[in-house]
């Protein structure tokens, strides 16, 4: 079913949203992007005259009740954003009473789904190596189905709108869909937009296509890097992973972050890039610091010649120019992961240079897609969110979608 054609009037709708928002130490929401992202779907349910049940996870309580990860803390933010007083059900697995009392035009938020291990469906307290693991897993999968069935029992229809967790086959993101017929389950507006943005990049590539992959580690991005090698014209690798490449090629990297067990992998990526005719752009110089803090002493050094006691923390001036060149001429751009420790203002310049080049290319007609928590945080930090084509709410989900995998959250609705 398509959400635009669906009329929620008189129906109870259960919507899986991604309200996994960052909180400060006092439980205040520090960034409402994800709440705002869900609004079009939530408002449609209410405007049609439906009763709205929202469910989400927050953090990783690993199947236990952890008050610091309670969604109760965000009820006011959601109420303000939606313009209705949101009610709260303190036990998502036992919310029959709150659901029964919910009327058309009203909204209810269920407590953190991951207080129940059934949500993720992974056995807890048993090691993967344990001979009893596979039996425990089977049992947990059964319990996951029961949990999903319980959630489904609250509503007449199901909307999947949590792109950030769409790459997981969890009770609320995929399994629950089995308990609704095709006419009563659908993707929400945010999911539709996200899927469309990925499609824009993958099936409608305007060249040159430049991808920028940064962040701390190459190991977590290897799947997408390998996949991109078959698609892009320019691949910029930046951030902490730079130093694994520099070391693999015989460089001295001082105290820089490095994955010593991924040196061969780095060489392999360099080789594959050549074979595929991809212009691999790696940093040549960097800003090194003598401590991992904002006010560390700094010096500019070659990325493959960093003195002992110093660590590469941001892209250097020459590198920034190289990156900008590969970005500014592009017609399709994908950015995931910062070029330095951008959380420290003094090491955010490389990421800012990337953001500025992307904004320039976008103004010249490129389609730019930014995804992954940290690159989004970067763009927001620089106040440039409105200068790129699309900002994805997904990190892992976005990367898996771009790798060409069908996301379980999409497959559960579309049956692919």
Stretch that binds ligand AMP, among 6-14, 195-203, 338-346, 359-367 (CB under 6 A): 338-346
**Active-site residue 145, yes or no?**
no
**Active-site residue 105, yes or no?**
no
Distance CA 210, CA 332 (A): 6
- Of the pair 340, 408, the CB lying nearest ligand AMP is at 340
Which residue in 399, 345, 340 sits closest to 369, CA to CA? 399
Distance CA 30, CA 170 (A): 26
Distance CA 175, CA 145 (A): 7
**Binding letters toward ligand AMP, positions 109-138, x by CB under 6 A:** ------------------------------
356 is in an annotated binding site: no
Distance CA 152, CA 372 (A): 30
- Determine which one of 37, 164, 396, 409 is catalytic: 396
Stretch that binds ligand AMP, among 81-89, 210-218, 226-234, 382-390 (CB under 6 A): 210-218
Stretch that binds ligand AMP, among 244-252, 327-335, 340-348, 352-360 (CB under 6 A): 340-348
* Other C-beta atoms lying within 10 Å of the C-beta of residue 1: 17
| Position 283 contacts ligand AMP (CB under 6 A) | no
Distance CA 19, CA 113 (A): 11
- Of the pair 222, 270, the CB lying nearest ligand AMP is at 222
| Position 341 contacts ligand AMP (CB under 6 A) | yes
Angle at CA of residue 222, ends 219 and 227, nearest 5°: 175
- Of the pair 48, 343, the CB lying nearest ligand AMP is at 343
- In the three-class reduction of DSSP (H, G, I as helix; E, B as strand; rest coil), residue 278 is classed as coil
Q: Which of 33, 73, 77, 216 binds ligand AMP (CB under 6 A)?
A: 216
H or E stretch at 4:
none
| Position 337 contacts ligand AMP (CB under 6 A) | yes
**Active-site residue 396, yes or no?**
yes
| Position 215 contacts ligand AMP (CB under 6 A) | yes
137 is in an annotated binding site: no
Inter-residue contact 313 to 291 (CB < 8 Å): no
Residue with tokens 């996951």: 144
Stretch that binds ligand AMP, among 40-48, 67-75, 86-94, 341-349 (CB under 6 A): 341-349
Distance CA 63, CA 320 (A): 44
- Of the pair 212, 410, the CB lying nearest ligand AMP is at 212
Residue with tokens 């056995």: 123
H or E stretch at 198:
helix 189-203
340 is in an annotated binding site: no
**Binding letters toward ligand AMP, positions 295-334, x by CB under 6 A:** -----------------xx---------------------
Distance CA 392, CA 195 (A): 10
Inter-residue contact 333 to 368 (CB < 8 Å): yes
Inter-residue contact 187 to 159 (CB < 8 Å): yes
**275, two tokens:** 């074979």
Distance CA 345, CA 26 (A): 24
Inter-residue contact 3 to 186 (CB < 8 Å): yes
- Determine which one of 217, 272, 331, 381 is catalytic: 217
Per DSSP, which regions of 56-96 are E strands? 87-89
- Determine which one of 34, 150, 231, 320 is catalytic: 34
| Position 217 contacts ligand AMP (CB under 6 A) | yes
Inter-residue contact 164 to 397 (CB < 8 Å): yes
**Active-site residue 373, yes or no?**
yes
**105, two tokens:** 């035009």
Q: Quote the least distance from Cβ 342 to ligand AMP, whole Å.
A: 6
- Of the pair 48, 318, the CB lying nearest ligand AMP is at 318
168 is in an annotated binding site: yes
Residues lying near ligand AMP in the complex (CB under 6 A) are found at: 215-217, 220, 239-240, 257, 312-313, 337-338, 340-343, 372, 374
Binding residue numbers for ATP: 221, 312, 343, 372-375
Binding residue numbers for substrate: 18-20, 34, 57-60, 114, 168
Q: Give the residue numbers marked as catalytic.
A: 34, 217, 373, 396
Binding residue numbers: 18-20, 34, 57-60, 114, 168, 221, 312, 343, 372-375
């Amino acid at each position: 079913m398509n959400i635009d054609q669906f009329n929620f009037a008189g129906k109870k709708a259960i919507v899986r949203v991604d309200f996994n928002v960052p909180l400060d130490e006092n439980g205040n929401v520090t960034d409402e992007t994800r709440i705002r992202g869900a609004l079009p779907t939530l408002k449609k349910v209410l405007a049609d005259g439906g009763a709205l049940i929202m469910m989400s996870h927050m953090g990783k309580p690993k199947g236990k009740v952890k008050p610091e990860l309670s969604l109760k803390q965000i009820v006011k933010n959601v109420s303000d954003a939606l313009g209705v007083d949101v009610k709260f059900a303190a036990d998502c697995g036992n919310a029959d009473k709150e659901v029964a009392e919910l009327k058309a035009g009203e909204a209810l938020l269920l407590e953190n789904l991951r207080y129940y291990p059934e949500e993720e469906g992974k056995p807890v307290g048993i090691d993967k190596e344990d001979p009893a693991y596979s039996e425990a897993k089977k049992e947990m999968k059964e319990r996951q189905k029961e949990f999903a069935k319980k959630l489904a029992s609250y509503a007449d229809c199901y909307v999947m709108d949590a792109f950030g967790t769409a790459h997981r086959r969890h009770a609320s993101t995929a399994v629950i869909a089995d308990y609704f017929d095709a006419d009563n389950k659908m993707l929400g507006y945010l999911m539709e937009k996200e899927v469309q943005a990925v499609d824009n990049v993958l099936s409608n590539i305007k060249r040159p296509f430049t991808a920028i992959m940064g962040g701390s580690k190459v190991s977590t991005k290897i799947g997408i890097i390998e996949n991109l090698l078959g698609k892009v014209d320019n691949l910029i690798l930046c951030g902490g992973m730079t130093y694994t490449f520099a070391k693999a090629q015989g460089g001295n990297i001082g105290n820089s972050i490095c994955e010593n067990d991924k040196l061969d992998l780095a060489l392999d990526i360099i080789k594959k890039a050549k074979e595929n005719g991809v212009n691999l752009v790696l940093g040549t110089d960097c800003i090194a610091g003598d401590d991992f803090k904002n006010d560390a002493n700094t010096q500019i050094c070659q990325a493959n010649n960093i003195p002992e006691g110093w660590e590469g923390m941001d892209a250097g001036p020459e590198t920034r120019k190289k990156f900008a060149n590969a970005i500014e001429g592009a017609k399709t751009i994908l950015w995931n992961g910062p070029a330095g420790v951008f959380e420290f203002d003094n090491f955010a310049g490389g990421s800012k240079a990337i953001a500025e080049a992307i904004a320039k290319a976008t103004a010249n007609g490129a389609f730019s897609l930014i995804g992954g928590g940290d690159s989004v945080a970067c763009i927001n930090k620089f106040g440039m969110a409105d200068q790129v084509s699309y900002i994805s709410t997904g990190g892992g989900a976005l990367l898996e979608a771009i790798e060409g995998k069908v996301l379980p959250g999409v497959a559960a609705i579309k049956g692919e």
